[in-house]
Amino acid sequence: MKTKTILFDLDGTLINTNELIIASFSHTLEKYGDRTYTREEILDFIGPPLVDSLKKVNPDKVEEMITAYREHNYANHEKYVEAYPTVVDTMKKLKESGFQMGIVTTKLSDTAKLGLKITGMDQLFDILIGLDDVDNAKPHPEPILKAIDELKANPMTTMMVGDNYHDIEAGHNAGVQTAGVAWTIKGRKILEDHDPNYMLEEMSDLLQIVGVE
């Protein structure tokens, strides 16, 4: 069945926020952590909802830590955030070709919108489902199913594209096609172990997969 709806994760998939996320975690852990955390340890925090990652550091001060993280992250977006190669052109071509497109992210909606605006993609998506729009984050299927429902899309003609195994699992759980991105900071093997239908070497690969070129 031909793909008609494409849902994208945001951080690590469309926009490169890795250094911003690492800087925001480092800033927060310096204030609230019980020790110095290595870059490798911080990389493990990328992907899951913020609350789950920070609970592991200091369960008694999670709310304060989330506030510190979000304030730093929002304030430093302009400094760090950029779109990955071929992303903006690919999104424009998909939009022009009539695909329904949405963002499904574990970020809060306002911060996600800021990232889209900085990279010039704020007018390209039909829907944005953020962490504050759902009760259950990925890998639970709720965010994907909510996007499908609001777009009046068909799961059989929908694809979820992401850089984290949570994205692939959520796609499987929602019954949609899945595509992993090879530029994930997590290493492509983690994605391949979760059996995505496709693996993108760069975002423009998607055009061929969905029949645009």
Catalytic positions: 9
Note if the bond before 139 is cis, omega within 30 degrees.
Answer: yes
**Backbone φ, ψ for residue 210 (5° rounding):** -95, 5
The residue written with tokens 């992303």 in the block is 87
Q: Which residues contact 188 (CB under 8 A, 6 or more apart)?
A: 180, 182, 199
Q: 178: part of which helix (H) or strand (E)?
A: strand 177-181
Q: Which two tokens stand for residue 7?
A: 């849902």
Q: Which residues pair with 15 in a beta bridge?
A: 11, 83
